[in-house]
Homo-oligomer: A and B are copies of this chain.
Amino acid sequence: MTTPLAAKIAREYGTPAAVIDMDRVERNIARIQAACDAAGVANRPHIKTHKSPMLARMQVAAGARGITCQKLGEAEVMANAGIDDILISYNLIGDEKMARLAALQAKANMTVAADNSTVISGLPRAAAASGRPLSVVVECDTGRKRAGVETPAEAVALAREIAASTGLQFAGFMLYPTETGWSDAQKFYDEALAGLRAHGLDAAMVSTGGTPNMKNVGKLKGATEHRPGTYIYNDRMQVAAGVAGWDDCALSIYSTVVSRAGPDRGILDAGSKTLTSDTGGLDGHGLILEHPEAKIARFAEEHGFLDLTRSNTRPHVGDVVRIVPNHVCVVVNMMDEVVMVRGEEIIGTLQVAARGKLR
Q: Which A residues contact B (CB, under 8 angstroms)?
A: 10-18, 48, 70-72, 90-91, 93-97, 100, 115-116, 118-119, 141, 145-150, 256, 258-262, 265, 267, 269, 272-274, 276-279, 300-303, 305, 316-318, 329-330, 333-336, 355-359
Contacts and interface: CB of A to CB of B under 8 A. Distances in A.
Contacts of A95: 11
B336 A146 contact: no
A93 B150 contact: no
Contacts of A116: 259-261, 317
Question: What is the count of identical protomers in the complex?
Answer: 2
A14 B94 contact: yes
28 contacts: A10-B94, A10-B96, A15-B359, A48-B302, A70-B302, A71-B302, A91-B269, A91-B317, A93-B318, A94-B256, A94-B318, A115-B259, A116-B259, A145-B265, A146-B303, A147-B258, A147-B267, A148-B259, A150-B261, A272-B278, A273-B333, A277-B277, A277-B330, A301-B333, A333-B334, A334-B356, A335-B358, A336-B357
Contacts of A145: 261-262, 265, 305
Nearest to A7: B94
Given A16-B358, A119-B258, 12 more contacts: A10-B96, A16-B359, A116-B259, A118-B316, A146-B303, A147-B267, A148-B261, A269-B359, A272-B330, A276-B276, A276-B277, A277-B277
